[in-house]
Amino acid sequence: MRILVTGGAGFIGSHLAERLVKEGHSVVVFDNFSSGKIENLSRILRDVDVVKGDLRSRSDLERAFAGGVDAVFHFAANPEVRVGDPQEHFENNILATYNLLEEMRRRGVRDLVFASTSTVYGEASKLPTPEDYGPMKPISLYGASKLSCEAIISSYAYTFQFKAVALRYANVVGPRAKRGVVRDFVLKLLNNPRELEILGDGTQRKSYVWVEDAVEATLLAWRGTRGGFEAYNVGSEDSITVVEVADIVVEVMGLSGVRYRFTGGVDGGRGWVGDVKYMHLDISKLKSLGWSPRYSSREAVRRAAESALEELRG
């Protein structure tokens, strides 16, 4: 198939593009390179078509679809989970997704996979949280924009006969990640190996998933869905605290006696306004399709710390 990967030069998108190429698909990477990097595609640069463009521009999108497209994996977004400019989230997530859907509809492309997030649930009272949990009350602009996208995508699925799959990812970690707690800790400890600043009170407990496990889950969900709109949680079986993440990073870096300095955070120890303090997804829906993560949160974080260290040391 000829598959368009929006955000294909980013962290998850580039791993996904690699996997699709390996499976023999013809891949078009569409990215505005705001956070994506051409180096992320170094292993497959000769095998993919790269279209530099922005989802906010309908004419850029026309170029992306020009050579024909059978399916779209929509991974481009403003993935900033901290409070930011509401307009940024609206334009890069909601408007961008609407533009994409319209271009697909116009061209009769009806196969869509969407990168959603665990933050759509907000502060779920049920942990692990299943896909049918409600009411969904996002507490961040990011989570709200992603939930809005899911709603619009679902409406296109039932109004215009799309097959649409949304993956609600936990924290995805691994090589090429440019943000997130693991890289943040490695960077801080390279600068000062004696003291580590930890946002919040350190008791935030979340689930982490290895990027290749997430890609595997994505493809399985795509293949396992026949039509309509389906959402799947993608996470690991366990969750760990931010202090545990710090302990793993310290150990991987071979440090000892590191003093943890907690910022205290906001609103009961959150790292930032809108930070969901406890996140653990129920992954039984995807497991029933035959998927299970190879790594636990702890193992995924350890491997991610090793790769971040390698990347940051150069």
In angstroms, the CA 135 to CA 151 distance is: 14
Q: Residue 76 in 3-state DSSP?
A: coil
Binding test (CB under 6 A) with ligand NAD, winner from 3, 4, 5, 11: 11
Give the nearer residue to ligand NAD in terms of CB position, either 36 or 202: 36
- Residue choice 21, 25, 48, 92 for contact with ligand NAD (CB under 6 A): 92
Q: Which of residues 158-197 bind ligand NAD (CB under 6 A)?
A: 169, 171-172, 178
User: Is 142 a known active-site residue?
Assistant: yes
User: Per rule CB under 6 A, is residue 87 in the interface with ligand NAD?
Assistant: no
Smallest distance from the beta carbon of 6 to ligand NAD, in angstroms?
A: 6
CB of 38 to ligand NAD, least distance (A): 10
List of E strands, the chain:
2-6, 26-31, 48-52, 71-74, 111-117, 163-169, 171-173, 195-198, 205-206, 208-210, 228-234, 240-241, 259-262
By CB under 6 A, residue 293 contacts ligand NAD? no
The CA distance from 313 to 291, in Å, is 34
Touching ligand NAD, residues 17-56 (CB under 6 A)? 31-36, 54-56
Check binding of 77 to ligand NAD (CB under 6 A): yes
Q: Which member of 97, 99, 117, 225 binds ligand NAD (CB under 6 A)? A: 117
Give the dihedral sign, CA 122/127/129/135.
Answer: negative
Identify which of residues 55 and 72 has a Cβ nearer to ligand NAD in the complex: 55
User: Looking at beta carbons only, is 258 or 276 nearer to ligand NAD?
Assistant: 276
Number of residues that bind ligand NAD (CB under 6 A): 28
Active-site residue, selected from the candidate residues 142, 169, 232, 295:
142
Residue number, 13 or 258, with CB nearest to ligand NAD: 13
Decide: is 10 part of the binding site for ligand NAD (CB under 6 A).
Answer: yes
Tokens of 248: 């793993």
Per the document, the length of the chain is 314
Among the residue ranges 77-85, 97-105, 125-133, 269-277, the one whose residues contact ligand NAD (CB under 6 A): 77-85
Residue 95 exposed, middle or buried by CB count within 10 Å (0-12, 13-18, 19+): middle
**Closer to ligand NAD at the Cβ: 10 or 138?**
10
Numbers of helices and strands, H then E, in the chain: 10, 13
Least distance between ligand NAD and beta carbon 247 (Å) = 20
| For ligand NAD, the closer CB: 36 or 274 | 36
Partners of residue 62 on adjacent β-strands: none
Residue 281 Ramachandran class (φ > 0 left, ψ -120 to 50 alpha, else beta): beta
The site map against ligand NAD for 124-163 (x = CB under 6 A) is ----------------------------------------
What is the chain's alpha carbon radius of gyration, rounded to the nearest angstrom? 19
DSSP labels for 8-40? TTSHHHHHHHHHHHHTT-EEEEEE--SS--GGG
Q: Which residues is 305 bridged to in the sheet?
A: none
Which residues sit at the interface with ligand NAD, rule CB under 6 A?
7, 9-13, 31-36, 54-56, 75-79, 92, 96, 115, 117, 169, 171-172, 178
What positions carry a catalytic annotation?
Answer: 142
